Amino acid sequence: MVFSLIVLNAPWQGQAAQSAYRCAQALLAAGHALRQVFFYGDGALALVPGVTAADQPDLDRAWRELATRHGIPILACTTAAERRGIPVDGSAGGAARPGTLGQLMLALGDSERVLTFAD
Amino acid sequence: MAGPHLLVVLRADPAASPRAVEARDVALAALAFEQRASLLLLGDGVGLLRPGQASAIGAEDPLPGFRALLHHGLERLAVVAEDLAERGIERADLALPAVVLERAGLARFLASHDHCVGF
Residues 6 or more apart from B110 whose CB is under 8 A from it? B7, B40, B116
pLDDT confidence bin for A50, thresholds 50/70/90: confident
Residues 6 or more apart from A78 whose CB is under 8 A from it? A44, A88, A98, A99, A100
Residue A25 C-alpha, separation from nearest chain B C-alpha, in angstroms: 21
A101 to B29: CB separation less than 8 angstroms, yes or no:
yes
Mutation for testing the A interface, residue in B24, B117, B119 having most A CBs under 10 Å = B117
Question: Going from the N-terminus, what domains does chain B have, and what CATH number goes with each?
Answer: 2-118 (3.40.1260.10)
Across the interface, of A41, A80, A108, the residue whose CB is closest to B4 is A108
Which pTM does this prediction carry?
A: 0.91
pLDDT at A33: 97
% of chain B residues with pLDDT over 90: 79
pLDDT at B54 over 80: no
| ipTM for the complex shown | 0.89
pLDDT at A73: 96
- Domain with A83, as residue range(s), is 2-117
Chain A residue with minimum CA distance to B115 = A114
In one letter, which amino acid is B104? A
Count: domains in chain A: 1
The CATH number covering residue A32 comes to 3.40.1260.10
Q: Is residue A63 less than 8 Å (CB to CB) from chain B?
A: no
Task: Write out pLDDT tens, residues B14-52.
Answer: 888 889 999 999 999 999 999 999 999 999 999 999 877
Residues of B in contact with A115 (CB under 8 A): none
A108 to B19: CB separation less than 8 angstroms, yes or no:
no
Residues 6 or more apart from A35 whose CB is under 8 A from it? A2, A3, A4, A72, A73, A107, A110, A111
B6 to A8: CB separation less than 8 angstroms, yes or no:
no
